[in-house]
């Protein structure tokens, strides 16, 4: 049984390897991006390809996946770009994505959609469980598979949102699930440190992505501009600005167990 009260003995494994903590240090590594066919994940995949990483993009829609792979590979660069269809709530499908990738050094989990929204009094158990599956269970699936497969020096980067800190009515079901990802970050980091695998989460504010545009009332450029004008920096972030944060966390070899906020101070205003 796990002893939860005593300080663990120092593990016998060699210390975490040292490599360049700059994005260029990711050249030649393989990154699996779950949720990599749109928005933040796709932008991260593009940046990773630019720095010379081999990238495996994943999402549920085959059409969207094919377009994403073609678009990232078409940007130039020699590193391979692959695609794997997988729903992150399905452990076998995520395992198959790992298998297709072969060696995986880093995993980024950005998969997510609006699930579990609505007044708490009307929230169904099915909707709450679907939100949990899509966020927390997906993160646990990734951690279970990554624990077996990632090499020393590997990393997992998860995703949450600033509504966890700055809630709005009607988001309790969704934020219970997203908040669980933040709680998991520290636990997984402590557990996987023995394997020299790091675990971090990026907590995003509002970014102009297909998810935001599908949220209702923000379909047009003008609607996005107007809504973003009220934020501290006068606009929402771009997908590239969002995607650069997980690249930083993957590259920096000494950050683990952290939730970093990337929101243009939206949480503070």
| Residues at the site binding ligand NAP, with contacts judged by CB under 6 A | 35-41, 59-61, 64, 87-89, 110-113, 134, 159, 161, 204, 206-207, 209-212
The rounded distance, in Å, linking the Cα atoms of 62 and 85 is 6
Nearer to ligand NAP, 195 or 248 (CB): 248
Retrieve residue 65's tokens. Answer: 């996946």
Taking the complex as a whole, how short is the minimal distance between the CB of residue 122 and ligand NAP, in angstroms? 21
Tell me how far the alpha carbon of residue 164 is from its chain's centroid: 16
User: Angle at CA 172, nearest 5°, toward 134 and 33?
Assistant: 25
Give which of 153, 46, 30, 156 is closest to 99, Cα–Cα: 30
Taking the complex as a whole, how short is the minimal distance between the CB of residue 228 and ligand NAP, in angstroms? 10
Nearer to ligand NAP, 59 or 153 (CB): 59
Nearer to ligand NAP, 38 or 185 (CB): 38
Taking the complex as a whole, how short is the minimal distance between the CB of residue 5 and ligand NAP, in angstroms? 35
The rounded distance, in Å, linking the Cα atoms of 40 and 159 is 10
Q: DSSP state, 164?
A: G
Taking the complex as a whole, how short is the minimal distance between the CB of residue 181 and ligand NAP, in angstroms? 9
Nearer to ligand NAP, 23 or 35 (CB): 35
Taking the complex as a whole, how short is the minimal distance between the CB of residue 215 and ligand NAP, in angstroms? 8
Nearer to ligand NAP, 204 or 248 (CB): 204
CA dihedral 201, 137, 174, 237 (to 10 degrees): 30
CB-count exposure of residue 181 (10 Å: 0-12, 13-18, 19+): buried
């Amino acid at each position: 049984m796990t002893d939860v009260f005593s300080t663990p003995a120092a593990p016998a494994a060699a210390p975490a390897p040292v490599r360049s903590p700059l994005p260029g240090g990711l050249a030649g590594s393989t990154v699996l991006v779950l949720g990599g066919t749109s928005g933040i994940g796709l932008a991260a995949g593009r940046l990773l390809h630019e720095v010379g990483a081999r990238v495996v993009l994943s999402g549920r829609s085959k059409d969207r996946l094919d377009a994403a792979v073609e678009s990232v590979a078409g940007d130039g660069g020699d590193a391979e770009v692959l695609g794997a269809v997988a729903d992150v709530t399905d452990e076998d499908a995520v395992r198959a994505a790992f298998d297709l990738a072969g060696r995986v050094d880093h995993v980024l989990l950005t998969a997510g959609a609006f699930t579990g929204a609505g007044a708490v009094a009307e929230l169904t158990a099915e909707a709450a469980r679907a939100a949990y599956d899509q966020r927390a269970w997906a993160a646990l699936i990734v951690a279970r598979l990554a624990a077996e497969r990632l090499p020393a020096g590997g990393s997992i980067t998860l995703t949450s949102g600033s509504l966890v800190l700055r809630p709005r009515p009607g988001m309790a079901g969704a934020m219970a699930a997203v908040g669980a990802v933040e709680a998991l970050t520290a636990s997984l980091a402590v557990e996987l440190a023995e394997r020299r695998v790091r675990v971090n989460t990026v907590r995003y504010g509002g970014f102009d992505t297909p998810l935001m545009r599908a949220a209702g009332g923000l379909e047009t450029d003008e609607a996005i501009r107007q809504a973003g004008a009220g934020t501290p920096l006068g606009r929402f972030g771009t997908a590239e600005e969002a995607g650069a944060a997980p690249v930083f966390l993957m590259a920096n070899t000494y950050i683990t167990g952290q939730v970093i906020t990337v929101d243009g101070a939206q949480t503070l205003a």
